[in-house]
C-alpha cells in the first residue's frame, strides 16, 4: 500500500482502504495504531461566513503517514565498512524494514512505505508528497517532513532543484509543479514564504536581513502565523525556482559561515494557497440570511478555500555526545536537539493520546502545531543510512517514525464564504441584467419604430388602394354614366326628333289652320261685304264678322 493513493481521488481511495487496525499498518507486530479517531464522523459547521468541513472516512485517513528511505552508502561508508554487513534490510513487498543490531539480534518494523537506495525521486514524491499536495489543492492543510540523521538525504529528498538532472527534482519542486498545474493564475493565489529555524530564531531565507521573526497564533482557530516573513506570490515555475535557489544560497551561506556542509537549521517552505470555487449547497443558513435562497442562486455560493502546505527539511538528528560538538557547535546541536526532542515529545504525547501536548516547548513544534495532532494531512519521510556504524541513530530515527505513525490528525477544510466574489458576481449580474434590459428596451423601441413604420406604410398602401378603388369606381361609374348618357341622349334625340316632328306637324297643322283661318277670314270678309251691300240695299242691320271689334 502506498502512503496514499496516487490519483486525484486519493482521499476517497484512502477512505475505502481498510483501517490501520485491520490491515496491520503499524510498527512492530502492527503495534502503532491510530489512537485518536475524532474524524470518524462527517460534520459541517457554519459560523460567521466560515466553515470547517471534516474529511469523512475512517479514522485512518488522518493518520500521519510515514515512509522510510535508505540513502546510498557514501564514500566513507564504502571505504571503512567493507568488513561490516549493513544494519538495514528492506522487505519492500511487506513494507518492512529489518534493523540488525548484530548477527543474532534484529527487529522488524512496518511502515507505510519503504524505499531502497535506488528508489527514484519521482516515486518518492508520488507516494509521500503527492497525496498531501492533492489534499492541499482540495483546501486542507498539509505537511511533508523529512527527518533523519545528518547526511542521510533529507535535503536531497526535499529540496533538490534538479537543475542539472531534472529526474533529481525533489519534493518542493515537484509539489509546486503540481500546484501550479492545478491552479488558475487568474482566479487562485499561490504564495510562498521560505524560512529557516536556527538556534530558536526564525529567519527569512527570501530576505536574510529579517531574523527573529515572531510566531503568532489565532486563539480561535489555532492557526499559526509568521507575520513579518516575506510572502511572495509565485508567478510561474521559473520564478519559484529562482526564489528557491536564492533561499538555498542563503541557507548554504549560513552553513558555510559555520564551517559545515550539513544543514544546521530546519528549513520550512510555506506554500499558501487560496482557491475559489462555487459551492453546490442549498441548505446553508447563511443563504437564507443573505436571502439568496431561491433555487437558482443557492447553488452558486462562492467560497474561498485557504490551505497551507509546509515542506520541512529538518536539521540532522545526530546525537550531541557522538558528534563531539563543542562551543558554538554545541549550542547549535543543543538547539537542534531541543527542537527535535520537543518534536519527539509532542509526537509521543499525541501517540499516547496524552492530555497535554507540549507544542509550546520549541518554535519548531509551535510552527508544526497544525501538522501533528492538528487538522493537516501529514506525511513524514525518515531517512536512514545503511551503515552499521550508524545503528544507534538509525534506530532512534526508526523509533521516531514508528511513534509518528500513531498520530492521527483530524483533517479539516477551512472554507470561507467569499463575500467579495459574491458581491462582484452580483454586481456583474446586475450589470448584465441592466444591459440586457437596455438591450431589450432598445429592441422594443426599434421594433415599435419598425411597427409604426410598417403601420404607416400599411396606411399609405391602404390609402393608395382606396384611391385606386375610388378611381376604379369612378371609372366604372363613368362608363355607366356614359351609357346612361348615351341612352338618355338617344332618348332625348328621339324625343327631340319626335317633338320636332310634332312641332312640324303642329306647324303644318297651324299653317293649315292659318290658311283655313285666312280662307275663313276671307269668306267672312266676303260675307260682310255682301251683307253690307244688302243692308245698304234693304236697310237691314249689319252682320258682325269674327275680326270685328265693337263697343257694347
Ligand X SMILES: Nc1ncnc2c1ncn2[C@@H]1O[C@H](COP(=O)(O)OP(=O)(O)OP(=O)(O)O)[C@@H](O)[C@H]1O
Grid look-up 437596455 returns: 438
Q: Is residue 53 at the binding interface for ligand X, with CB under 6 A as the rule?
A: no
Per CB under 6 A, contacts with ligand X among 245-264 are: 262-263
**Distance between CA atoms of residues 51 and 305, nearest Å:** 10
Per CB under 6 A, contacts with ligand X among 310-339 are: 315-316
183 is in an annotated binding site: no
**Distance between CA atoms of residues 235 and 191, nearest Å:** 9
CB of 101 to ligand X, least distance (A): 23
Q: 405 burial class (0-12, 13-18, 19+ CB within 10 angstroms)?
A: buried
Q: Is residue 151 at the binding interface for ligand X, with CB under 6 A as the rule?
A: yes
Q: Which is nearer to ligand X, 258 or 286 (CB)?
A: 258
- Binding residue for ligand X, selected from 2, 17, 25, 71, defined by CB under 6 A: 71
Candidate segments 25-33, 150-158, 399-407, 542-550, binder of ligand X by CB under 6 A: 150-158
407 Cβ neighbours under 8 A, 6+ residues apart = 36, 63, 64, 347, 350, 351, 372, 373, 378
Q: How many residues bind ligand X (CB under 6 A)?
A: 15
Q: Is residue 148 at the binding interface for ligand X, with CB under 6 A as the rule?
A: yes
Q: How does DSSP classify residue 408?
A: B
**Distance between CA atoms of residues 137 and 241, nearest Å:** 20
Burial 437-459 (b: 16+ CB within 10 A, else e): eeeeeeeeeeeeeeeeeeeeeee
Q: How many CB atoms lie within 10 A of CB 30?
A: 14
Q: Is residue 272 at the binding interface for ligand X, with CB under 6 A as the rule?
A: no
544 is in an annotated binding site: no
CB of 168 to ligand X, least distance (A): 8
CB of 260 to ligand X, least distance (A): 8
149 is in an annotated binding site: yes
524 is in an annotated binding site: no
Q: How far is CA 2 from CA 31, 65, 155, 448, 457, in A?
A: 19, 9, 22, 71, 81
Q: Which is nearer to ligand X, 90 or 350 (CB)?
A: 90
Candidate segments 153-161, 448-456, 520-528, 532-540, binder of ligand X by CB under 6 A: 153-161
CB of 72 to ligand X, least distance (A): 5
Q: Which is nearer to ligand X, 321 or 552 (CB)?
A: 321
Candidate segments 40-48, 144-152, 426-434, 481-489, binder of ligand X by CB under 6 A: 144-152
Q: Identify the helix (H) or strand (E) that includes residue 462.
A: helix 419-538
- Binding residue for ligand X, selected from 109, 156, 194, 400, defined by CB under 6 A: 156
Closest residue to ligand X using C-beta atoms: 153
CB of 329 to ligand X, least distance (A): 13
Q: Identify the helix (H) or strand (E) that includes residue 108.
A: strand 106-110
Strand partners, 65: 379
Q: Which is nearer to ligand X, 325 or 383 (CB)?
A: 383
- Binding residue for ligand X, selected from 29, 72, 92, 222, defined by CB under 6 A: 72
Q: Which is nearer to ligand X, 11 or 68 (CB)?
A: 68
- Binding residue for ligand X, selected from 39, 152, 342, 388, defined by CB under 6 A: 152
Nearest to 175 by CA among 186, 188, 163, 161: 161
CB of 121 to ligand X, least distance (A): 8
CB of 172 to ligand X, least distance (A): 13
CB of 158 to ligand X, least distance (A): 8
Per CB under 6 A, contacts with ligand X among 75-134 are: none
Q: Which is nearer to ligand X, 243 or 312 (CB)?
A: 312
Per CB under 6 A, contacts with ligand X among 9-48 are: none
CB of 419 to ligand X, least distance (A): 45
2 Cβ neighbours under 8 A, 6+ residues apart = 112, 113, 126, 127, 131
**Distance between CA atoms of residues 19 and 14, nearest Å:** 9
130-137 helix and 171-182 helix, angle to the nearest 10 degrees: 30
Cβ 144 vs Cβ 368: under 8 Å = no
CB of 60 to ligand X, least distance (A): 28
**Distance between CA atoms of residues 363 and 199, nearest Å:** 10
354 is in an annotated binding site: no
Q: How far is CA 85 from CA 104, 322, 388, 395, 489, in A?
A: 13, 21, 7, 16, 150
Q: How many CB atoms lie within 10 A of CB 203?
A: 22
Q: Which is nearer to ligand X, 54 or 173 (CB)?
A: 173
Query: What is the gyration radius of the CA atoms in the chain, in angstroms?
Result: 59
151 is in an annotated binding site: yes
**Distance between CA atoms of residues 62 and 27, nearest Å:** 17
Q: Is residue 153 at the binding interface for ligand X, with CB under 6 A as the rule?
A: yes
Q: Which is nearer to ligand X, 162 or 354 (CB)?
A: 162
Using DSSP, state whether 33 is helix, strand or coil: coil
Candidate segments 20-28, 154-162, 350-358, 522-530, binder of ligand X by CB under 6 A: 154-162
Q: Is residue 155 at the binding interface for ligand X, with CB under 6 A as the rule?
A: yes
82: its cell numbers: 567493507
Candidate segments 79-87, 143-151, 213-221, 237-245, binder of ligand X by CB under 6 A: 143-151
Using DSSP, state whether 153 is helix, strand or coil: coil
Q: Which residues bind ligand X (CB under 6 A)?
A: 71-72, 148, 150-156, 262-263, 315-316, 383
Binding residues: 148-155
Binding residues for ATP: 148-155
Amino acid at each position: 500500500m502506498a502512503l496514499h493513493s496516487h490519483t486525484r481521488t486519493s482521499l476517497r481511495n484512502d477512505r475505502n482502504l481498510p483501517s490501520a487496525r485491520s490491515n496491520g499498518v503499524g510498527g512492530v507486530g502492527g503495534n502503532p495504531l491510530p489512537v485518536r479517531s475524532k474524524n470518524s464522523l462527517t460534520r459541517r459547521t457554519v459560523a460567521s461566513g466560515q466553515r470547517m468541513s471534516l474529511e469523512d472516512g475512517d479514522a485512518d485517513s488522518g493518520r500521519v503517514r510515514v515512509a522510510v528511505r535508505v540513502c546510498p552508502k557514501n564514500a566513507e561508508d564504502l571505504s571503512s565498512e567493507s568488513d561490516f554487513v549493513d544494519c538495514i534490510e528492506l522487505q519492500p513487498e511487506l513494507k518492512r524494514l529489518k534493523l540488525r543490531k548484530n548477527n543474532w539480534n534484529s527487529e522488524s518494523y512496518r511502515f507505510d512505505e519503504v524505499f531502497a537506495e535506488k528508489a527514484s525521486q519521482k516515486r518518492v514524491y508520488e507516494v509521500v508528497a503527492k497525496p498531501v499536495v492533492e489534499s492541499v489543492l482540495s483546501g486542507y492543510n498539509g505537511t511533508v517532513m523529512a527527518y533523519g540523521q545528518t547526511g542521510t538525504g533529507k535535503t536531497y529528498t526535499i529540496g533538490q532543484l534538479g537543475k542539472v538532472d531534472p529526474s533529481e527534482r525533489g519534493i518542493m519542486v515537484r509539489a509546486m509543479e503540481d500546484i501550479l498545474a492545478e491552479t488558475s493564475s487568474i482566479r487562485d493565489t499561490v504564495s510562498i514564504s521560505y524560512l529557516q529555524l536556527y538556534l530558536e530564531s526564525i529567519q527569512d531565507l527570501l530576505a536574510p536581513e529579517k531574523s527573529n521573526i515572531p510566531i503568532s497564533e489565532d486563539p480561535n482557530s489555532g492557526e499559526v502565523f509568521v507575520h513579518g516573513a516575506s510572502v511572495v506570490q509565485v508567478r510561474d515555475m521559473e520564478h519559484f525556482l529562482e526564489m528557491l535557489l536564492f533561499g538555498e544560497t542563503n541557507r548554504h551561506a549560513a552553513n558555510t559561515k559555520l564551517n559545515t556542509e550539513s544543514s544546521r537549521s530546519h528549513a520550512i517552505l510555506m506554500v499558501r494557497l487560496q482557491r475559489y470555487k462555487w459551492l453546490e449547497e442549498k441548505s446553508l443558513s447563511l443563504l437564507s440570511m443573505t436571502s439568496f435562497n431561491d433555487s437558482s442562486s443557492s447553488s452558486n455560493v462562492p467560497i474561498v478555500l485557504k490551505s497551507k502546505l509546509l515542506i520541512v527539511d529538518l536539521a540532522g538528528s545526530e546525537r550531541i555526545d557522538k558528534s563531539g560538538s563543542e562551543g558554538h557547535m554545541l549550542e547549535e546541536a543543543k538547539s537542534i536537539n531541543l527542537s527535535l526532542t520537543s518534536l519527539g515529545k509532542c509526537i509521543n504525547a499525541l501517540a499516547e493520546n496524552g492530555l497535554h501536548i507540549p507544542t509550546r516547548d520549541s518554535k519548531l513544534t509551535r510552527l508544526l502545531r497544525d501538522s501533528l495532532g492538528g487538522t493537516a494531512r501529514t506525511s513524514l519521510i525518515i531517512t536512514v543510512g545503511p551503515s552499521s556504524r550508524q545503528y544507534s541513530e538509525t534506530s532512534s530515527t526508526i523509533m521516531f517514525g514508528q511513534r509518528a505513525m500513531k498520530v492521527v490528525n483530524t483533517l479539516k477544510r477551512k472554507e470561507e464564504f467569499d463575500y467579495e466574489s459574491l458581491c462582484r458576481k452580483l454586481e456583474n449580474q446586475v450589470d448584465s441584467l441592466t444591459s440586457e434590459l437596455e438591450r431589450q428596451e432598445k429592441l422594443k423601441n426599434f421594433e415599435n419604430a419598425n411597427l409604426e413604420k410598417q403601420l404607416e406604410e400599411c396606411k399609405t398602401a391602404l390609402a393608395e388602394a382606396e384611391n385606386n378603388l375610388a378611381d376604379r369606381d369612378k371609372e366604372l361609374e363613368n362608363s355607366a354614366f356614359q351609357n346612361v348618357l348615351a341612352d338618355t341622349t338617344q332618348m332625348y334625340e328621339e324625343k327631340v326628333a319626335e317633338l320636332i316632328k310634332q312641332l312640324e306637324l303642329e306647324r303644318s297643322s297651324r299653317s293649315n289652320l292659318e290658311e283655313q283661318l285666312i280662307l275663313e277670314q276671307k269668306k267672312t270678309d266676303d260675307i260682310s261685304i255682301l251683307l253690307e251691300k244688302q243692308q245698304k240695299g234693304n236697310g237691314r242691320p249689319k252682320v258682325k264678322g269674327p275680326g270685328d271689334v265693337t263697343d257694347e
